[in-house]
Structure 1
Amino acid sequence: MKKKTDLILGMLFAGATIIFVVSFLTNDVFFNWAFERHHNVLSWYIRPLFIIPMVYFAFKKSLTGIFASIFALFTSMFWFPAPAASSPQVLEFLAYEMDYLKGTWTVPKILMSLSVPLFFFMLLMAAWKRNWKWLLGVIIGAAVLKFIWSVVFSGEAGMSILKPALLGLIVCIIGVSYFYKKYKQTDKN
Structure 2
Amino acid sequence: MKFSRKYDKILGIIFLVLIVFLIVLAFTNKSFFDWAYERHQNQLSWYIRPLFLIPFCYFAYRRSWGGILGTMFIVLTSMFWFPKPGLVNETVKQFLEMEKVYLLGDWGFSKILISLLIPISLTVLAVAFWKRNLWFGLSVIVFIAVAKMTWSVAFGGEAGKSVFVPAIAGLVICIGLIYIGFKKTEKRKENR
Task: Flag whether TM exceeds 0.5 (same fold).
Answer: yes
CA RMSD in angstroms comes to: 1.0
Tell me if 1:49 matches 2:57: no
Matched residue, 1:138: 140
| Deviation (angstroms), 1:187 | 3.4
List runs of 5+ in structure 2 lacking aligned partners: none
Matches within 5 A, 1:101-140: 101-140=103-142
CA distance in 1, matches of 2:106, 2:160: 21
Deviation at 1:2, TM superposition (A): 4.7
Q: Distance in 1 between matches of 2:104 and 2:15?
A: 25
Find the aligned partners of 2:30 and 2:39 in 1 and give their Cα distance: 14
Q: Which amino acid aligns with 2:135?
A: K
Aligned counterparts of 1:8 and 1:171: Cα–Cα separation in 2: 31
Question: Is 2:149 the counterpart of 1:155?
Answer: no
Q: Distance in 1 between matches of 2:155 and 2:4?
A: 45
Amino acid at match of 2:166: P
**Secondary structure of 2:85's match?**
coil
Matches of 1:48 and 1:2, distance apart in 2 = 26
State the identity as a percent. Answer: 46
Question: Runs of 5+ in structure 1 lacking a partner?
Answer: none
What is the rounded CA distance, in whole Å, between the counterparts of 2:186 and 2:63 in structure 1? 18
Runs of 4+ in 1 over 6 A off after TM superposition: none
TM-score (norm 1): 0.97
Q: TM-score, normalized by length of structure 2?
A: 0.96
**Deviation (angstroms), 1:137:** 0.4
Q: How many residues align?
A: 189
Matched, 1:15 2:3: no
Superposed counterparts of 1:45-84, under 5 Å: 45-84=47-86
Q: Select the residue among 167, 171, 191 that pairs with 1:169.
A: 171
Q: Decide whether aligned partners of structure 1 residues 49 and 2 sit closer, same or farther in structure 2, where only a CA change above 3 A counts.
A: closer
